Structure 1
């Protein structure tokens, strides 16, 4: 049996990646806004999940997708997953620090940015270096990430991210101070009785009023209707 996670149209082998396939990644990949033109950029691609979901969602348009990661094993996994997918010609993975890569690109050159970033600014770190890099901001602070996004994002573009609730609120405030306001935010709860534990965040330069949403993943011991509607194009058993 193949290692990793099999979706309806592609398989993700996440062996050796600091961050394995997770519900967080699926939420972001399904919820994020994909602009109908221009290159799609996946920052910190890991196994390539977000890039693959974007390829499936944009199949009719056929946009190119660039996936970046600083970890060589993650890039190797993403390249393998891209080669085995239905869209190998549209997907490219490269080993790069986003700050260095952004400095080489023209300002405003990207319309769609996806990022499942390092979550935590403090706290105990994983013993595995790849996992620590994926989960903590030692190698990529949220400010450096936002400055790179601001440089790359076009005037009509959208950058979508997912973070824990506390870190997400901090990032939204920081982004606003950098003239990169939040245009859309979705509060995620695992069940109706649990507190908000994740935020899906969309940033843009447009300055439009923030649209607020809520999503509960599980209701009455099963996936909620809202979650099924969001993820059914990807999960096998939906």
Structure 2
């Protein structure tokens, strides 16, 4: 699977608490976000989780070839199973996820693509509830979701006592609609900081803010 803008944005935008020791990337795909976390933070433990076998195998290979292979580990499992196994074993200071978001009404003929991109593989309810069992006391959950699902996502999050501390609204160009929300959640109700990020002035002419955010992860930007 290709590296998507959503994953790169999330990996560059999400901030871990001070003295972070453990990070979990849920639905890692080929491991891009987990690798970005390893580049950014010195956390001793960076776990990744992937249900698709081919993507899992690619993530493992990418981790082993990276400079941070000793801190990266990928599990081939479904999130609910992982939560049951790990909730009494490990707590994470940051859980990060670029969750699938298309509804099941729009399935394609590719099962792998469906698993990666459709919400029934990792419903918001499962991601949010499961995260409450795995987050450390001051831990954060960081996600990127479509703008049209923001209200529903935050409503579900509140049911599990997770509250937005920061939301960044993402626009393709200055005149386009907001398409994505980057959301950081914590377990304490707080005033939400909101801002906006524009990716391009026009096609392939990236804004200074976008370049500053993601350029550390590209060979050319």
How many residues are treated as equivalent by the alignment? 218
CA distance in 2, matches of 1:173, 1:46: 27
Name the Cα RMSD after superposition: 1.4
1:7 maps to which residue?
none
Q: CA deviation at 1:220?
A: 4.4
Looking at secondary structure, tell me which structure has more helix per residue.
2
Q: CA deviation at 1:82?
A: 0.6
Q: CA deviation at 1:143?
A: 0.5
Match of 2:58 among 69, 77, 81: 77
Q: CA deviation at 1:169?
A: 2.7
- 1:4-43 equivalent positions in 2, closer than 5 A: 14=1, 20-35=2-17, 36-43=19-26
Tell whether 2:122 aligns with 1:140. yes
CA distance in 2, matches of 1:215, 1:227: 7
Tell me if structure 2 keeps the 8 A contact 1:34–1:54.
Answer: no
Q: CA deviation at 1:190?
A: 0.2
CA distance in 1, matches of 2:108, 2:175: 29
Q: CA deviation at 1:142?
A: 1.0
What TM-score do you get using the length of structure 2 for normalisation? 0.94
CA distance in 2, matches of 1:155, 1:213: 26
CA distance in 1, matches of 2:20, 2:43: 9
Question: Which structure 2 segments of 5+ residues have no match?
Answer: none
1:10 maps to which residue?
none
Tell me if structure 1 keeps the 8 A contact 2:23–2:43.
Answer: no
CA distance in 2, matches of 1:152, 1:174: 17
CA distance in 2, matches of 1:175, 1:121: 19
Q: CA deviation at 1:121?
A: 3.0
Tell me if structure 1 keeps the 8 A contact 2:10–2:144.
Answer: yes
After TM superposition, what 4+ stretches of structure 1 lie above 4 angstroms from structure 2? Answer: none
2:81 maps to which residue?
100
Tell me if structure 2 keeps the 8 A contact 1:42–1:68.
Answer: yes
2:213 maps to which residue?
230
Q: CA deviation at 1:235?
A: 1.5
3-state DSSP of counterpart to 1:209: coil
* Residues 94-135 of structure 1: CA deviation (Å, up to 9, x unaligned): 101111111122368111111010112343112111110111
Tell me if structure 2 keeps the 8 A contact 1:182–1:204.
Answer: yes
- 1:37-56 equivalent positions in 2, closer than 5 A: 37-56=20-39
1:176 maps to which residue?
158
Tell whether 2:191 aligns with 1:213. no
Tell whether 2:133 aligns with 1:151. yes
Tell me if structure 2 keeps the 8 A contact 1:120–1:167.
Answer: no
